Structure 1
């Protein structure tokens, strides 16, 4: 009797199991892609331009359905959907995530200040919208403890103070109130001519004018985008096409001061800023 031939390759059962696993992973990837494109997407805060509302180390969800869908609603801008589907215009005061212009395009978060047809100007550090000076009320300083996510690089020496709990950053804070009653806090540290006294901007059709709440540390629509700037001009974002607006800031789901060590799991909890979780947006 001849010896049985040695098995070659994987058995049919193993091949079937592998194909089922691949099909499951492809389905899971499709579900995640659909959810991120059309429902909710996470976003992390990398800079101090939206202080005091958003801190470096905040993680939030943005809702994708508010303003319609375009190629920038999709992860990595794919597929390249032309224009916008189910378009809606943002409201003044909305905090939105958008795709910046230029070759180094990336996701950015700012506040909507001007809509198509609006005129926007900064005059002596005060926002002027459609010829009307927006109320700007001085309130208590913004106070934030220094941490790995917010060091003396982000807080100028003039605003570093030693409190009972240690070194903190104390920055002058104001409340702005837009027509219609929408209100939010802004920071204003110094008088900066290019930022605090500008010409009049008229927002083009199909675009929005965006600004950071940290008025002295935000490259926004007050300054032209890199490809539009003249030699020597301060560069920012310029007017942003609405099709580049990806979604509306919804809720903070995690926040860390940056002191955690990934190899020390208990520090994940001590570094968390628990009081920020669940915070919504005006």
Structure 2
């Protein structure tokens, strides 16, 4: 089938970094159910990969990112105020701990809200379990008062960091395949796209939330499984190691091209955030 090239997105400045993103339906699927957001107000960068079939996946990914961004936009100033008050205390370590714990709670609440919204739609519209509307989500949040960035993750989209030319995967795929590999059950490996959890299908989730120090020159990549399922770790590393902040949009498009050249069996999304100073 003929495929339109992925559109170019102008780089966005936020919280000490420059971020660009691109998304593409791939070579096989007609509809793109991936979505991403780069929101300076919420200080949020995130990728979502929708599921549930035609008309459900795109709705789920877009709505989940909308809800998360709205929650975090409201919380940004509150965390800054709380941390400002805590900085008057005598114990600076306690101040950092309080800010981190508060940020983690805010993130968990935002993800719970997005999950509850999608789950309620599934119930209200009678969408069966076998085709529940849902989505993965992986993102980074940079609250104004924190000295670190916070990563959050549900499903099998991924977050990578490229530092000094070396690529590290910062998230763990929440899939049956990953669990089988970790338990050593290699005899009958399940398909790689069977998720252990996602936003929407179940009334509760257990998101992975972690804090990471960002250094000048770091490159962070957020992507759907349409990218990491087609493009090798070494190829991703090579592209990110050569990426300059002013050309991050071209690097996103190059990663999508590599995925499509390898088959492009799924939707493909890549978002790159380059930390200032490198």
TM-score by length of 1: 0.22
Higher strand share: 1
Point out the structure with max Rg over C-alpha. 1
Structure having the larger proportion of residues in helix: 2
TM-score after normalising by structure 2: 0.22
